A and B are shown apart, each in its own frame.
Chain A
Amino acid sequence: MTGPADTQPTLATSAGGSIYDLGYQGYHGSRVPRSGVVMALLWQTLRACYGIGRGARAKIVPLSLAVIALLPAIVAVGIALLLAQAGPAAARFEGFSPIRYSTYADIIAVFVMLFCAAQAPELFGRDQRFGVLPLYFSRALARTDYALARIGGLVAGLSLMVLIPQVVLFVGRLLMAPDPVTGWEVESPFLLPALLQAALTVGILGGVAAAIASHTPRRAYATAGIIAVLIIPPVIVQLFAGVGRSGLDRYAALASPADVLEQTNDILFRALAGTSSGTSRDLPDAVYLVAAVAWIVLTFGLTVRRYRRIAV
C-alpha cells in the first residue's frame, strides 16, 4: 500500500495521525469445548494450590509444606550417595535407613494433612465467600463441571506433593545401583504400591478436605474442620488401642481416614513388593481397601452434591 495521501485523499486525516476510538470489538475466533473449559479451571486450581497467580504471601505455606515433604527424600538419597562413595562396607548401612518407599507416606502424612487444611479452603471456600459462584455457573460449565475441576486441581496438587519425593528416592537409588538393569530390577516392584498408595492418600485426604471446605465459606471453620477429621481421630484410635478389640468396635478405626491410609500402605507394600512390617491388623485386608475407596467416593460425592445444590 502506498502513502494514503496521494492515492486516497479521504484518508488524509488518518495520515495526519488522528487517534480513533475503536470501541467495542466482537470476537470471531475459535471457542474451546466444554472439556477444555474444565481443564482450564483445573489448571487454575492446581496453580492456586501452590499460591501461583496470587500474592507472595499465598505461596509461603503451601510451598514450605511441599518442600518439607520433599526433604526426607533428599536427605536419604544424599546420605546413601555419600555412603556408596565410602565403599561397599559403608553402603550396607543404607539398608538401615528408615526413609523408604514403604515408610514415606507415614513420614509426610501430617504435612500432607496440613497442606489440605491450609489450601482446600482457598480452593473451595473462596468463591463462596466473595460471591463468585454465579459468575462461574452462568458460564460455559455446569455446576458438576466446576466441582470436578476444583477436586481435580486439588488432587493434582496433592499428587505432586506426594509423588515427587518417591520419584526422588527412585531416581537416587537407580543412580546408586551398580548398573541400571540391576537397579531397575530391585527398585521397580516398589513403583506400583507407591503409586496406588499415593492415589489413595490423595483421594482420601483431598476428598475429606474438599468435602469440608466446600460446605463453608469461612476459612477458619474449614481449616479447623479438616484438622479435626484428619488429625484428631488417629489420636483417639491410639488411646483405645488394645482396649476391647473383639466386637464391632474394631470397625471404629475405619472412621479415621488417617488410620485407614496407614493400613492400606502396609497392605499394598506387603502384597505387591514383599516388604514386611510388624503392624498387626484387626480386620481383613480387603475391609481397609474397601473403606479407603468408600471414603473417596463419599467425600467426592458430598463435594459434587454441595455445588449442585448451593443457592447462588
Chain B
Amino acid sequence: MPLVALGSLTRRYGDVVALDDLTLELEPGIIGLVGANGAGKSTLIKILLGLLEPTSGQAQVMDLDVRTRGHEIGRVVGYMPEHDCLPPDLSATDLVSHLGQMSGLPRGAARERTAEVLRHVGMYEERYRPIGTYSTGMKQRVKLAQALVHDPRLLLLDEPTNGLDPAGRDEMLELVLRTGTEFGIAVILASHLLGEIERVCDFLVALDAGHLLRAAPLRSFTERTGVLAVEVEEGREALAAALAARGLTVVPDEQLLLVAVDDQGTYDLVRDAVVELDLPLVRLEARRHRLEDLFRDEGRAA
C-alpha cells in the first residue's frame, strides 16, 4: 500500500494553476517536498488532508480517497500548518489534549498522550502557561506536539522551521528526524530550503510552479555531492566549454558558473581547467542549496 498516490492531480485557483497534472506514488519514509514559495507545496499538503478539494484527478492517502474519506484520513495523519494556528489564551496542555480528543482519543488517553508528547518536543513547566506568552520556538514545538498527539501514521509538516533561529532550526529538524526514524512515523516535510530537506529526508519530491520536477531517493541527488560556484573575472564561456569538455554538468548563472560536483575529482578538474586557460579566478564556493537550480534545468529538458 503506497503512503500517498496521486493520479493526474490538478488544482486551480481561478486561472492560476497551483498543481498541474501530478502523478506520483510515495512509499513510507521521510519525504521532502521542496520548491520555491508558490510552487504548490502547501496546496498539495492541504489536498492530502482534505482541506482543499482537487479540481481534477485523484489523491489517496493510505488507500483512502481524499474526497470521500477525509475524516478517516484525519485519524491517521498529523498536520503542522505553516501559519499561526494556536489560540493565545489556552495553555499548551489544554489545547493539545483537546485536539487529541478531536483526533479520536478518549479523554483520559488524550491527557496522558499530551503529557508524553509535550515532553517529547521538549516542553516542560511552561506547558501550563498561556500560549500567548511563548517564544516562536516554543509555539513551533506545540504545533508539532498537536500533530503527534494521536500517534499518526503520517506527519505532514509545512515549513516547520519557519521563523526559527539557527539553533531552533537545528532542534526542530532533529526532532523531525527522531520522530521519523525512531518511531516509524512517515513524514512529508515541505520546505523551500533544500539544505533542510537534505539533512532529514530520504526521498525528495521537487515541485516548480505546480509541476513535478522530480521524485527520487535523495541518494540519487546527493551522489552528486553538491554544486560548486565558480566565478572568473573573464573568460567565462571558455571555461564553461572546457569544463563541459571534461564531462562536467555546467549551468551559467549570472556572472557565475554552477558546476555539479560528481565527486572529489571535480574540484581538481575545475582547478586544472582554470589554470590551463590562465583565467583570473575570483571565487570557488560550495553552493549546496543551489542544487535545485540544476535539477530544475533537468526537469525542463526531460
Q: Which residues of A contact B85 (CB under 8 A)?
A: 130-132, 134-135
Interface string of A117-145 (1 = CB under 8 A from B): 00000000011001110111111111001
Q: Of the 9-residue stretches A26-34, A201-209, A281-289, which lies at the interface with chain B?
A: A26-34
Contacting pair B101 A141 (CB below 8 A): no
B88 at the interface (CB under 8 A from A): yes
A308 to chain B, nearest CB (A): 11
B196 to chain A, nearest CB (A): 21
B48 to chain A, nearest CB (A): 9
Interface string of B73-104 (1 = CB under 8 A from A): 01101010101111111100010001101111
Docked complex Cα distance between A37 and B179 (Å): 26
Docked complex Cα distance between A202 and B88 (Å): 30
Known: A40-B107, A132-B85, A142-B71. A137 touches B51 (CB 8 A): yes
Q: How large is the interface on B (under 10, 10 to 19, 20 to 34, 35 or more residues)?
A: 35 or more
A40 to chain B, nearest CB (A): 5
Q: Which residues of A contact B99 (CB under 8 A)?
A: 135-136, 139
Contacting pair A40 B81 (CB below 8 A): no
Contacting pair A24 B102 (CB below 8 A): no
Our pick among A30, A36, A139 for the contact of B74 (Cβ within 8 Å) is A139
Q: How would you classify the secondary structure of chain A's contact residues: helix, strand, loop or mixed?
A: loop
Docked complex Cα distance between A126 and B86 (Å): 11
Contacting pair A32 B106 (CB below 8 A): yes
B192 at the interface (CB under 8 A from A): no
Contacting pair B74 A130 (CB below 8 A): no
Contacting pair A24 B50 (CB below 8 A): no
Known: A131-B81, A135-B99. A37 touches B87 (CB 8 A): no
Q: Which residues of A contact B79 (CB under 8 A)?
A: 134-135, 138
Contacting pair B182 A131 (CB below 8 A): no
Docked complex Cα distance between A132 and B79 (Å): 12
B19 to chain A, nearest CB (A): 16
Q: Which residues of B contact A33 (CB under 8 A)?
A: 104
* Cβ < 8 Å to B, chain A residues 163-215: none
Contacting pair B102 A26 (CB below 8 A): no
Contacting pair A27 B102 (CB below 8 A): no
Identity of the chain A residue whose Cβ is nearest the Cβ of B88 in the assembled complex: A130
A312 at the interface (CB under 8 A from B): yes
Q: Which residues of A contact B71 (CB under 8 A)?
A: 34, 139-142, 145
A: which residues have CB within 8 A of B?
Answer: 23-27, 29-34, 36-37, 40-41, 44, 53-55, 126-127, 130-132, 134-142, 145, 312
B: which residues have CB within 8 A of A?
Answer: 46, 49-51, 70-72, 74-75, 77, 79, 81, 83-90, 94, 98-99, 101-107, 109, 113, 116-117, 120, 146, 148, 150-151, 178-179, 182-183
